[in-house]
A and B are shown apart, each in its own frame.
Chain A
Amino acid sequence: MLESLKLQELARTIVLNRLPSVELESVQTEGFTSSEGEDALRITLVLTPETVEAITGDDALKLLLEINDSLRREGDERFAIVEYTTADDVPVDED
């Protein structure tokens, strides 16, 4: 398994190469147990609100595949899910 910093660097490099028009504020990674009981990985991309709409469905599909291909080439067999958010979208009181 790759360590957190290496994972963030790998994800950042792929995002910047594949989606040059988006501004990436940060990358967060965390391991979790999948619904099938396997080790998995959650990669959260924090993007600027101004550029986030530029991501198409095809972009997201290619990014997902490229990240998982890269992880396997590095010997990390965990499946990674990629989540997207913006810094201005934060939990609020919904009552």
Chain B
Amino acid sequence: MAIVNPKHLLDQAERLLRPSGQGTKAIIRQADRRRAISSAYYAVFHFTLAAVADQFVGKSERNNNRYTLAYRSIDHSKLECLCKVASREKIDSKSKYAEFFPDGAFEQSVREFASLLIELKEKRNAADYDPSHWVSVQDARNAIKSASSAIENFERAPSVQKMIFLTLLVFPPR
């Protein structure tokens, strides 16, 4: 199966942050810092796509083309749209999402996961497309650490919370 392993994207991001050159001339180039940020975002993004396809088609069906359909059904904007609501401390009772939210909001680990996705999407956008944006080494390192923690914490979140998040992602209320 050719599915992207999120951990491998984070390993790749860490490799990119090793200095190039020798001695006092050793630096971590902007190109590498930017690619590290992008890999950190894509680690969380691909983790989410796999979670969706595992949930609605099944992990044992990863070689089935229905799995690919489910995996490809989520785009960046659709994910960000849910994350903006899911990251909130308390959802507006008038929101179309309100009736589906557990106790008016998700628990901390899901809210952190949603917040990080929004943040990394913005950072990736700047890293990939904004020539005036300067990326610090520490920000790239923290992006990798945060992405790793967010994935681990989401995996440990209560099943019902994960199920609601993934369901709202695939079947958003109208």
The chain A residues found within 8 Å of chain B, CB to CB, are 34-36, 40, 47, 52, 55-58, 60-62, 64-65, 68-69, 72-73, 79, 81-86, 89, 91-92, 94
Q: Is A35 touching B87 in the complex (CB atoms < 8 A)?
A: no
Main secondary structure of the interface of A (DSSP, over half): mixed
CA distance A58 to B146 in the complex (A): 6
Q: Is B136 touching A84 in the complex (CB atoms < 8 A)?
A: yes
Main secondary structure of the interface of B (DSSP, over half): helix
CA distance A57 to B152 in the complex (A): 10
The chain B residues found within 8 Å of chain A, CB to CB, are 27, 29-30, 77, 80, 84, 87-89, 108, 111-112, 115-116, 118-119, 121-123, 125, 134, 136-139, 142, 145-150, 153
CA distance A82 to B112 in the complex (A): 13
CA distance A84 to B37 in the complex (A): 13
Q: Is B149 touching A72 in the complex (CB atoms < 8 A)?
A: no
Q: Cβ of B121: which chain A residues have Cβ within 8 Å of it?
A: 35
Q: Cβ of A34: which chain B residues have Cβ within 8 Å of it?
A: 122
Given contacts A69-B89, A86-B138, A89-B138, are A57 and B111 in contact (CB under 8 A)? no
A-B contact pairs, 9 of them (CB 8 A): A36-B77, A57-B148, A64-B116, A64-B146, A79-B84, A79-B119, A81-B118, A83-B136, A91-B134
Q: Cβ of B150: which chain A residues have Cβ within 8 Å of it?
A: 57, 61
